[in-house]
Amino acid sequence: MSEPLDDRLRDDAALAEIELTSRLMIAASGAAAPLSQAEIDGLLGIDPHA
């Protein structure tokens, strides 16, 4: 039987970076052309008017 994960080892910042990188990789791999800056900003959740 495996031991439960220790929450002290959880790195939320690293997990968030992995999630964002994954989004970009998936979008880029399915795109017919390079992603525009607006598309990248949208994937990253960046408000262009901020």
Rounded to an integer, what distance in angstroms lies between the CA atom of residue 31 and that of residue 25? Answer: 10
pLDDT recorded at residue 1: 65
User: Can you state the percent helix, strand and coil of the chain, rounding each to 5?
Assistant: 60, 0, 40
Q: What is the pTM of this model?
A: 0.67
- Residue-level pLDDT at 6: 76
Per-residue pLDDT of the chain (50 residues; tens, 9 = 90+): 677 777 777 888 999 999 999 999 999 999 999 999 999 999 888 887 77
Residue 9, pLDDT score: 76
